[in-house]
Structure formats: structure tokens, C-alpha cells
Amino acid sequence: MKKTFTTKDFILFGLIILLLVLLILSMNQVDRQWQKLTRVESMLAEQSKDVSALRGSLSVIKQKIDKAQLVSQTPTASNNINTSNASTTTANVAENNIPPVFQRAYEATQKEDFALGGWFTSSLSTTIKTLTPLVSTSAYASEIQSYVLESLLSLNSDTLQYEGKLAKSWQISEDGLTITFQLRDNVLFSDGEPFDSTDVVFTFNFIMNEKIKAPSLRAYYKQIDSVVANGKHEVVFKYKEPYFKALDFAGGMNILAEHFYKPYLEKTEEFNQSKGLLIGTGPYRLADPKNWKPDQDSLELIRNNRYWGAVQPSFDRVAWRIIQNDSARLTTFRNSDIDLYGDAQPIDFDKLKDDEQLNKISDRFNYTSPTSGYGYIGWNQMLEGKETRFADKRVRQAMTWLIDKQKIIDSVFLGYRKPAVSPFGEGSPQHNPNIKPEKQDIAKGKALLKEAGFEDRDGDGVIEDKDGKPFEFKLIYFGTNETTKRMVLLLKDMYARAGIKLIPIPSEWPVMLEALDKKNFEAITLGWGGTIESDLYQIFHSDQIKEGDNRTSYKNPELDKVIDEARKMVDKEKRMKLWQQTEKILIEDQPYTFLTRRMELGFANKRIKNQRMTKLGLNTGSLENYIPKALQKHSN
């Protein structure tokens, strides 16, 4: 029986044909939309180039306008200005009327090959846990924040004197307890909101909020009695008692935007757990200041086009690539995919210093600066509520006498370090020049250990305590650093000669930070950065055991007393004598074994212009640097 098409079939067939036609038309429409989108993207790219070029012209115009504005804000000498700071507080301007804080950057813009644009790219050897201010603790996070956040004052890297930044001038009372800052009135945060005195007051109160996870910072600011705004452009810091770093901490406080961070006063735990809440008045910014995520293979900051400064940031972007392997980092630098090969391992640096290909594309640097800091072994005196063997001063002393620091410097660091005897550097006035680095004395170390109850009781070459328990301990170290690994293996051999078993525990950076926070370690090797004049309170005062950076639970009432006296002493000569007393106590107590003072080793690509050495080190990545147009890459 033959089937015939019914009216219903014809209708259904027609609908199918109609749907096919509509589908084809729809596909054509989508294709046209994609073509249109491609054309728009192309047009935007062209416009972006035009905007980039226009920026250069506008920057020149802005500099001229800002010159006139900033001249009117330039303070004159005041009778109530502390004379010891008068050279910086008066902010004398040069002939071109650019404030001192922008003077060197302005001079760079006058060079013949100066140009805006391009990317400056560096690298990090580990991922960053968080970029949120106050709760972040890593040096890498601080480096990135320095491009985004700004303070009232800035330290001149050549004179080591303060210059006005967000503040245009300041006065210090005769008793040193009151510091009054006059603020600039042309400053914007990167989202366009104006900066004023309420942001300074908010920042201090936010830091001092006990619910905010910033105990180490609170340790320094707790000496401030109040921070009060006198109108929009004046703010007054009042200290409870004299403090030798009063200006450092008042002027150096990174200012947070009240309008951005204030909501987190009601959500402090959310703030403490956040990963990327970062906004400021600085020359660069996060593309999204609220939603940056960790565990990425790179990190980028973009130019803050609202930057208030007399000189605009030259780079389109500042970027960091996460490269944990040293060999990969060197290869990346050779290919000019990063501009800075810093923190070079000594063995690599020594091989590369005569590398012709590398010398063609880069400048080599090695130096020790006041902020280079020192490496140490921290001996934890309390673990899980009980005293460890390192609570005995004789044991800590012995652990230091058993180490041959010069051998470590020669064998591991190939001479690119100096021995450390205390937290204070060799050239620091805090250091007693009569104290010289101690040399290894195994016999003295063994004698101290025996006095403390440790000796080889069964003739197996390992020393035991009175209960027959072998002397062995775990040493945590940063596992991806090959130089540190070689140092730990050498330490293991040195301690073995005295019958002590060192168990190396290589760890990732987040694991090390967690161990420090929880004081869950026997011994750990790390480093502290340095400052022009160090305040030992945060690291060695017993008040800082609970929440501060005294991670080894070290207590000495005599040291506490001298630290307290030194911090209050305004007279520099008397203060240095007190610091030298603290040095003597620390050398006697050895809460740390102070190992070596580091040198900065590395290479910087020559395409980055105006790189120079300052008293604080290489200025690469600062407002003073730029890339000539012909050498720019990744430019927008």
C-alpha cells in the first residue's frame, strides 16, 4: 500500500524547511557579528596605539601644569620645624620647580631617548599567598605593594634623608611627641577618589583594630596615642612617649583608601582571609583591585593613569613571572623575556660574570646595602608547650661554635657573603666595631654540650642526654633554593663531627610560614631584611612572643629593658651605646645563630635605561627607569 503526503505532512515538511532557512540565516548573522567584532577589536587596537602616543604628549603637558601646582605647595622653613630634619622638611625645590621626591624621575624624562610604554618584567621564585595589605607577610608581596601603595614620606636613596610624598611638609615638636603633616591636595586613588587626612586616620585605626590580622605592625604603632585630622589636608600624630623611629613609622605608613577598605571593618575575617584587596595612590594598580587570585604563573600591574605625581610612570605594565627553577629563570632572562635576573645563586653568578652573550644584553651587579639583611638559624625554645633543648643557653652557644661560617661563605656562597655576628651590619653605628666574627671552635662547643648534659654515653659517635636520648633535630629550610640546600648539607656534616644528627626538612614557602606562625619547628633557617637603623623589639623582645615575630619564644628581661630604653632614647650617640649593649646580650644568648650577611647578585637587561646604584641598591623598576621606544616590547 502506497503512502501519500497529507496536508499535515506538507505543513511539517514546510516547518522543517523554514527552520533550516532560519538556522542558515542565523549562522550568517553570527558570522557577520564576529566579523564586526573583529573589526571593532582592530579599531580599538589602533585607537589604543593612538591613546598611547597621546599619553606621551599629555604627560609632558601634565608635568608643566603640575610644576606650577606643586610650586604653590612647596613649603618654606618654619620656626617650629625640628632642625635635625629641616633639610628634608622644607622640601627645597630645584631650578625646574619639581619636588625633590620626583627630581631624579624628572631628570630621566629629559633624556633624549626617553619614552613612555613597554613592559618591565621581573620574576618571583615562589607564588604569593596574598597581596592584601597588613595580612600579607612575604617580601615579594611587599615589593609588589610598593608600586601601588604610598606613604606620607619617602626615603631618598642617595642621601638617606626623608622627602615629602603624600605629605608636602611636616613639623616635629620639641619634645618629639607630636608630628604634624601638611598633605598635598592634588592626590587621587587609582579609582579616582580623592586622598585626604581621613584616609590617614582610617589607616592607623584599621591597623590598630585587634580583629585585623596585623599583630607585628601593631607592635610598632602601639606607641602612637592618637592620629587626628585637622581639616582635609593636615594630620597630627601624637606619641605616648619618645620613640627614635617616630618619624619613620608615621611617615612610612602605607596609606589605605577609607572608601575601599572601610566596609571590611564589619567583615574583618573576610579581610584577613582575602587574597587580593589592593588599591592605592601609587603609579601602578591591579586591573581588578578586589578579585586578584593567587596560584597564577604571572602577576601584572597596569599604569595608574590617574597618578598624581609630577612625573608619570613610564611603563605600561610592571609584571612578574613565577619561575621556581633557577635554571629556567636564567634561560628566561637570556631570552630577554624578563628584564631582571636578581637573587642569583652564587655558583651561577660566578660562572656567568664572564659570559660574553650575557654581558652584551645586561649589566652585572653585586653589592651589600644597609637593607640586605642577614641569614640565621632560629632555635625554638618552646615546642607544644614544653621547653626544648635549645632553651638552654649553653646548647645554643655550642650550636654556633660548631659552625665554620667562613667555610660556608667560601664553599657555598663562593665568597659572595660576609660573616654575621649580630642583627647589626659591619658598618652600622649600632654595631660595636671591636666585636669580630667568631671562628669555629669544636672543642669549646663539645665542652658546652657536655656541661649541658650531652655526651657520647655508648661510644657510637652520637651524643645523648642523661636519659640516653640521641641529640638530633629537624632543620626546616626553603627547599627550592639550591644554595640553601648545599648550606644545610654542610651544616649537617659540621654538626655530625660533634655527634649531633641534623635532619634536613626541605619545605615550600607557605609551609614554612605556617610553621613560623604556629611555632611548630625545632630549628629553621631564614633571613631578615635590614634597615638603616634596626629596632629589635619586634623580633627579640619577650612581649612579641604571643603575636609578634619572636618566633623562637626567646626571653631575657635584661635585653627587654635595654631595648625599651633604646627605643625611647632620642639622643643618637646615647642610643647607639644602648644598641651595642643589646648586641652584646644577643651574642651571649644566641637566640639565633647569625650566619652570613647577604650580597645582592644578579643581572639587569640593558634595555631598561637609567639604572644606577644608590645607597639602597639598584634602582631598577622605579619611576626613574624607562625603555626607549625602539626597545619596547609588549607595549599597548
Q: What is the tens place of the pLDDT at every residue in 130-170?
A: 999 999 988 889 999 999 999 999 999 999 999 999 999 99
Q: What is the tens place of the pLDDT at every residue in 226-238?
A: 999 999 999 999 9
Q: Is 289 inside a domain boundary?
A: no
Could you tell me which residue, 19 or 539, shows the higher pLDDT? 539
Q: Do residue 202 and residue 303 come from a single domain?
A: no
CA-to-CA separations, 363 to 17, 360, 603, 615, in angstroms, rounded? 71, 8, 6, 18
Q: Cβ of 259: how many Cβ atoms within 10 Å?
A: 15
* Number of residues that this document lists for the chain: 636
Cβ burial, residue 469 (10 Å; 0-12/13-18/19+):
exposed
Query: What is the average pLDDT score of the chain?
Result: 87
Q: Read out DSSP for 159-177?
A: T--EEESSEEEEEE-TTS-
How much is the pLDDT for 71?
36
Residue pair 506/485 in contact (Cβ under 8 Å)? The answer is yes
Q: Do residue 606 and residue 569 come from a single domain?
A: no
Question: pLDDT-based confidence at 31, cuts 50/70/90?
Answer: low
Q: Do residue 611 and residue 532 come from a single domain?
A: no
Q: Is 82 inside a domain boundary?
A: no
Q: Is 2 inside a domain boundary?
A: no
CA dist 453 and 573 (Å) reads: 43
> Shortest CA distance to 131 belongs to which of 9, 18, 285?
285
Q: Do residue 579 and residue 612 come from a single domain?
A: no
Residue pair 521/512 in contact (Cβ under 8 Å)? The answer is no
How much is the pLDDT for 25?
67
> Shortest CA distance to 500 belongs to which of 468, 464, 476, 467?
464
CA dist 17 and 38 (Å) reads: 32
How much is the pLDDT for 9?
62
Q: Do residue 430 and residue 560 come from a single domain?
A: yes
CA dist 457 and 106 (Å) reads: 71
How much is the pLDDT for 50?
41
| 55 Cβ contact partners less than 8 Å away, ≥ 6 residues apart | 116, 305, 312
Q: Do residue 467 and residue 381 come from a single domain?
A: yes
Residue pair 258/279 in contact (Cβ under 8 Å)? The answer is no
Q: Is 399 inside a domain boundary?
A: yes
Q: For the chain, how many helices (H) and strands (E)?
A: 20, 23
Residue 502 has pLDDT above 90, yes or no: yes
Residue 179 has pLDDT above 90, yes or no: yes
Residue 32 has pLDDT above 60, yes or no: no
How much is the pLDDT for 369?
83
Q: What is the tens place of the pLDDT at every residue in 596-632?
A: 998 999 999 999 999 999 988 899 888 999 999 999 9
Q: Do residue 118 and residue 165 come from a single domain?
A: no
How much is the pLDDT for 296?
85
How much is the pLDDT for 480?
86
Residue 54 has pLDDT above 90, yes or no: no
How much is the pLDDT for 5?
54
Q: Is 618 inside a domain boundary?
A: yes
Residue 56 has pLDDT above 80, yes or no: no
> Shortest CA distance to 275 belongs to which of 263, 264, 289, 287?
289
**pTM confidence score:** 0.79
As a whole number, mean pLDDT of residues 4-31 equals 66
CA dist 380 and 315 (Å) reads: 45
Q: What is the tens place of the pLDDT at every residue in 447-460?
A: 999 999 999 998 89
Domain limits at 381?
374-598
Q: Which of 212-216, 306-310, 489-493 has the lowest mean pLDDT?
A: 212-216
Residue 309 has pLDDT above 60, yes or no: yes
How much is the pLDDT for 531?
85
CA-to-CA separations, 109 to 119, 597, 609, in angstroms, rounded? 17, 36, 11
Could you tell me which residue, 16 or 250, shows the higher pLDDT? 250
How much is the pLDDT for 634?
64
Q: Do residue 413 and residue 362 come from a single domain?
A: no
As a whole number, mean pLDDT of residues 321-327 equals 89
* Residue tagged 639565633 (cell numbers): 592
Residue 538 has pLDDT above 80, yes or no: yes
CATH classification of the domain holding 446: 3.10.105.10
SS3 597: strand
How much is the pLDDT for 97?
78
How much is the pLDDT for 91?
37
As a whole number, mean pLDDT of residues 213-230 equals 92
As a whole number, mean pLDDT of residues 318-332 equals 92
Residue 39 has pLDDT above 60, yes or no: no
Number of domains the chain contains: 3
Residue 93 has pLDDT above 70, yes or no: no
How much is the pLDDT for 4?
54
Q: What are phi and psi of 15, to 5 degrees?
A: -65, -40
Q: What b/e readout covers 522-552, taking b as 16+ CB neighbours within 10 angstroms?
A: bbbbbbbebebbbbbbbbbbbbbbeebbbbb
Q: Is 287 inside a domain boundary?
A: no
CA dist 210 and 218 (Å) reads: 9
CATH classification of the domain holding 623: 3.40.190.10
How much is the pLDDT for 372?
82
CA dist 114 and 130 (Å) reads: 35
Q: Which of residues 277, 310, 330 is at a domain's end? A: 277
Q: What is the tens place of the pLDDT at every residue in 192-209?
A: 999 999 999 999 999 999
How much is the pLDDT for 148?
98
| 505 Cβ contact partners less than 8 Å away, ≥ 6 residues apart | 474, 475, 476, 477
Question: pLDDT-based confidence at 214, cuts 50/70/90?
Answer: very high
As a whole number, mean pLDDT of residues 398-414 equals 97
Q: Is 299 inside a domain boundary?
A: yes
How much is the pLDDT for 626?
97
Q: Which of residues 229, 248, 277 is at a domain's end? A: 277
> Shortest CA distance to 18 belongs to which of 7, 10, 8?
10
Q: Which of 196-210, 325-339, 386-400 has the lowest mean pLDDT?
A: 325-339
* Residue tagged 527552520 (cell numbers): 19
SS3 634: coil
Question: pLDDT-based confidence at 64, cuts 50/70/90?
Answer: very low
Q: Do residue 342 and residue 407 come from a single domain?
A: no
Residue 17 has pLDDT above 60, yes or no: yes
Q: Is 30 inside a domain boundary?
A: no
Residue pair 262/159 in contact (Cβ under 8 Å)? The answer is no
Q: Do residue 409 and residue 554 come from a single domain?
A: yes
How much is the pLDDT for 38?
44
Q: Do residue 327 and residue 473 come from a single domain?
A: no
Percent of the chain with pLDDT over 70: 86
> Shortest CA distance to 610 belongs to which of 633, 626, 630, 631?
626
- Cell triple for residue 264? 571590611
Range list of β-strands (E), 110-260: 119-124, 153-155, 162-164, 167-172, 178-183, 224-229, 234-239
Question: pLDDT-based confidence at 73, cuts 50/70/90?
Answer: very low
As a whole number, mean pLDDT of residues 505-532 equals 92
Q: Do residue 154 and residue 301 come from a single domain?
A: no
SS3 593: strand
